Structure 1
Amino acid sequence: MTESRTAIVTGAARGIGAATAQRLAADGHAVAVLDLDAEACAGTVEAITAAGGRAIAVGADVSDEASVAAAFETVVAELGAPTILVNNAGIIRDNLLFKMSTADWDAVMGVHLRGAFLMTKAAQKHMTEAGFGRIVNLSSTSALGNRGQANYSAAKAGIQGFTKTLAIELGRFGITANAIAPGFIQTDMTAATAERVGVPFDDFIAFSAKEIPVQRVGQPEDIAHTVSFLASEGAGFVSGQVIYVAGGPKD
């Protein structure tokens, strides 16, 4: 039987984060559902508790050091020391390079890279003390390059280098670190992308599905299943990997 642990999932109010939080709770873990606005997490927390799980909503800005510290104090006090961390929080500020503002570059870097750094730095203390840790960072197929996403692509590529370094540094403490790079996942974020390019979302999904070998777009649950494995005790010999969950191979 899986040992019950405390997990933190960032960006868990909806989409991939919400599905991941619910899956980890179903696996028997207590889950801190973290997002910028705690009230936005209510739906995810209710879904978990209604299914018999244990969860709390935590409001925090992952790019702010003091906010992260306060969030960890809350999680430790209410659920116990966290030994599973899923860095999922993310934003998009898409634009072609010549139109991209410095503010949009900094905002994306702040949430994705600074956020993952601050959350992981705070979590590793509890993991090293426990002699067990699972860190799962969300990258993207955009890490390979994607038009209109110079900031997002760079951040997601950075996440992959960050993950591999964590695996090297923390492995001796019983901690693994892996990244998941989703392909097209049907979420509010991909709906925003469709709107940006001026295509109805249903058409965007249908077109994208034709380009994917399994002939469908991904769902948040597809990512949640992969997180579940990487967070498990059975994945203790898998570390420093980038797993493309995209319905087919990626270069």
Structure 2
Amino acid sequence: MAAPPQTIALAGLILLIFVLAVAALCLHVLGRRRPRQQVPPPLEAAAAGEAEEEEGGGGERPQNQRRRRRARRKRRQEEGAAAEGGGHGADGDRDAAAKAAGKEALLPRRPEFPLASVAGPLQRRINARYDDLARASEAQCLTIEQVNEFVNCLIDARNELLQRYENVQRSFKIKKAMLSNHRNCRSSYERLFEQVRRLETERDNLKKDAAIYNYIQERLQKSPAYKMIMELSAMEMEAQEISFEELLAKEKEDTAFWQRNGKLRSFSSK
């Protein structure tokens, strides 16, 4: 008796599903086996690399230990030498430190930025003269010529500072008046505000330079050479201007001028 067609179709479908399931299972099993075969080589290589690093580190450790031992021995030898010569060496170091401290006290340090607002050549000239004065003051060989040159440099710096301060003050007043005008647009207002800010900064710098100038002037006035210069200047101002005729008449009144060894001087005309 022949089987109906529906039964044959159902059996074929079941067989097809079974074959597909077997094929999927085989693919899944093969896919799991492949990574397991590829993983061991890199692990072995890494293990070998770590073993080589440990071997290399084991060779470097004795060298580091030797270096440390040598450094310790050298440090102990230096400490022992310092302890043996301790008395005289410590006293010498103390004396040297005391001398250095006294030297720094005698030598007044130049200001960090002396008169930064003046021109470059004048600033370098002032620095050079100030250093010369400091060295001469330390050696106690300060001369009138050195003080006079430095005073001339300070006079030039004072004149330049005054001129620049007047210019800055005038520009500051003008820009501030323009800034108070409400008709200015936004761009011009910002530009004027920036100019006023720069003028204020420059004015503050000029005030700092003026303070430095006053400080140097006060230190200079305490030197004996400066006092001698002031005395000579006062003597020159006190001396009255006199003509030759007045001087001759004054000398004629002095009888000691016309006598030589108790006798009157004679003038012979040739």
Which structure shows the bigger proportion of residues in strand conformation? 1
Mark the structure with the bigger radius of gyration: 2
State TM-score, norm by structure 1. 0.21
Which structure shows the bigger proportion of residues in helix conformation? 2
